[in-house]
Amino acid sequence: MKTGSSVLTALLLTHYLNSLNKYSRNSRTIVLLSQAIVAMVYVQVLLPVPGIIAYLLILAVTYGITLLFIRDTQLQNCE
């Protein structure tokens, strides 16, 4: 797995989880959570067959979260 895709996935996922909460987390918590997600991704991708499935799932999650952010931004601009 490329390093950039796992980092991008981790950052998008942590920002999405942060946007779901009523309060905002500080930057240190977001960075630590991102690093934990990157570590989990690397461990999952080391396995041959489940790693490929995990990689495809990670790609789908990345695209889905990106589309959610785009939709939320467009909804906020319409209001």
pLDDT in tens, 9-59: 788 888 887 877 767 778 888 888 888 888 887 887 788 888 888 778 888
Distance CA 40, CA 7 (A): 11
Contact (CB, 8 A) for 9 and 42: no
CA distance 79 to 75: 7
Residue 65 lies in domain: 3-78
Confidence of residue 2 (pLDDT cuts 50, 70, 90): low
Domain count, the chain: 1
Which residue type is seen at 50? P
pTM for the model: 0.63
Chain segment 66-75, per-residue pLDDT in tens:
888 888 888 8
